[in-house]
């Protein structure tokens, strides 16, 4: 597969569980097929939305192997690495490569508030351990470490560090990255409510969340913007916004999974300490989803699939 694949819509796939918290691989595969039918350009597994913090190492690689079988080379499969220790991150990158992953997405070190030089050294160690293309997940809002432009300048020497999931919440950072580095790093927007504006600003792709429940609408927005059909994209985005806002809540996993149930693309089961939504909160989120489904737009011809 061509390693210059960093463009388009890459769903951050939820990990499906049974009611007793076991992996539900059949449901995982069904959800992935819905994404592929809609025309997504890649699949990201085992990330924050994929409840990586609750998965064992064995389960992460079971998911990778199963996803690779299901996708069967149709799009790149990106394996997420969110670890505390550099040696474990390196080990996971090597194993992901040996199993056939197309690339990896790496968070900065978790739990420890690493300094700039420590963070750069962490990414560099992984980059030197694998030939896989690497996407750096830059999310200082949730993970407290900001990968600055100067840090990217240090990482520029590693050819396989080739993309960034831009989740700083500052759309101008896309312009700053493009001004400084050109197309050296492919930029993916990682915040659903800011996606349209980010794509207009020049983002090459979108690592999306609500795509799990609404793949066709997500793909349509991306394609329409890239085709210059802004007004059509804006109309879909305005309808989509109450749903996209679910992506920036601490309970985004439960919210998006409930949306997947409503659209038939997944299950709502989560792994503790997360709990399935209940009470007033469940009613509120269900209303957001149902209100949107009641006026779901007809998508322009050829904007998805």
SS (H, E, C) the chain: CCCCCCCEEEEECCCCECCCCCECHHHHHHHHHHHHHHCCCCEEECCCCCCHHHCCHHHHHHHHHHHHHHHCCCCCEEEEECCCCHHHHHHHHHHHHHHCCCEEEECCCCCCCCCHHHHHHHHHHHHHHCCCCEEEEECHHHHCCCCCHHHHHHHCCCCCEEEEEECCCCCHHHHHHHHHHCCCCEEEECCHHHHHHHHHHCCCEEEECHHHCCHHHHHHHHHHHHCCCHHHHHHHHHHHHHHHHHHHCCCHHHHHHHHHHHHCCCCCCCCCCCCCCCHHHHHHHHHHHHHHHHCCCCCCCCCCC
Residue 155 has pLDDT above 60, yes or no: yes
196-249 pLDDT tens trace: 999 999 999 999 999 999 999 999 999 999 999 999 999 999 999 999 999 999
What's the domain range around 261? 8-294
Q: Is residue 12 part of a domain?
A: yes
Q: Is residue 112 part of a domain?
A: yes
265-304 pLDDT tens trace: 999 999 999 999 999 999 999 999 999 999 999 999 999 9
Q: Is residue 305 part of a domain?
A: no
Q: Is residue 304 part of a domain?
A: no
Note if the pTM is more than 0.95. Answer: yes
Number of domains composing the chain: 1
Q: Is residue 300 part of a domain?
A: no
**pLDDT score of 2:** 60
CATH number of the CATH domain containing 79: 3.20.20.70
Q: Is residue 303 part of a domain?
A: no
User: Stretch 60-73: mean pLDDT, rounded?
Assistant: 98
Q: Is residue 92 part of a domain?
A: yes
**pLDDT score of 170:** 97
Q: Is residue 299 part of a domain?
A: no
């Amino acid at each position: 597969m061509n390693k210059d694949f960093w463009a388009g819509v890459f769903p951050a796939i939820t990990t499906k569980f049974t009611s007793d918290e076991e992996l539900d691989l059949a449901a995982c595969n069904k959800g992935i097929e819905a994404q592929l039918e809609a025309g997504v350009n890649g699949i990201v597994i085992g990330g924050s939305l994929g409840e990586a913090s609750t998965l064992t190492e064995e389960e992460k690689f079971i998911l990778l192997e199963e996803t690779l079988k299901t996708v069967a080379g149709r799009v790149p499969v990106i394996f997420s690495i969110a670890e505390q220790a550099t040696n474990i991150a390196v080990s996971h990158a090597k194993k992901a490569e040996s199993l056939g992953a197309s690339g990896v997405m790496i968070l900065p070190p978790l739990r420890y508030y690493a300094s700039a030089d420590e963070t750069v050294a962490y990414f560099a160690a992984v980059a030197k351990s694998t030939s896989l293309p690497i996407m750096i997940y830059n999310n200082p809002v949730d993970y407290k470490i900001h990968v600055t432009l100067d840090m990217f300048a240090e990482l520029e020497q590693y050819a396989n560090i080739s993309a960034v999931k831009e989740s700083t919440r500052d759309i101008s950072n896309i312009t700053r990255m493009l001004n400084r580095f050109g197309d050296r790093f492919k930029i993916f927007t990682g915040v659903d409510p800011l996606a349209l504006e980010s794509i207009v600003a020049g983002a090459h792709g979108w690592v999306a969340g609500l795509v799990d429940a609404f793949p066709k609408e997500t793909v349509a927005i991306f394609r329409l913007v890239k085709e210059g059909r802004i007004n059509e994209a804006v109309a879909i985005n305005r309808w989509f916004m109450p749903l996209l806002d679910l992506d920036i809540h601490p309970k985004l996993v439960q919210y998006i999974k409930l949306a997947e149930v409503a659209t038939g693309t997944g299950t709502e089961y989560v792994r503790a300490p997360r709990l399935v939504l209940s009470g007033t909160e469940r009613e509120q989120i269900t209303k957001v989803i149902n209100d949107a489904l009641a006026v779901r737009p007809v998508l322009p011809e050829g904007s998805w699939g």
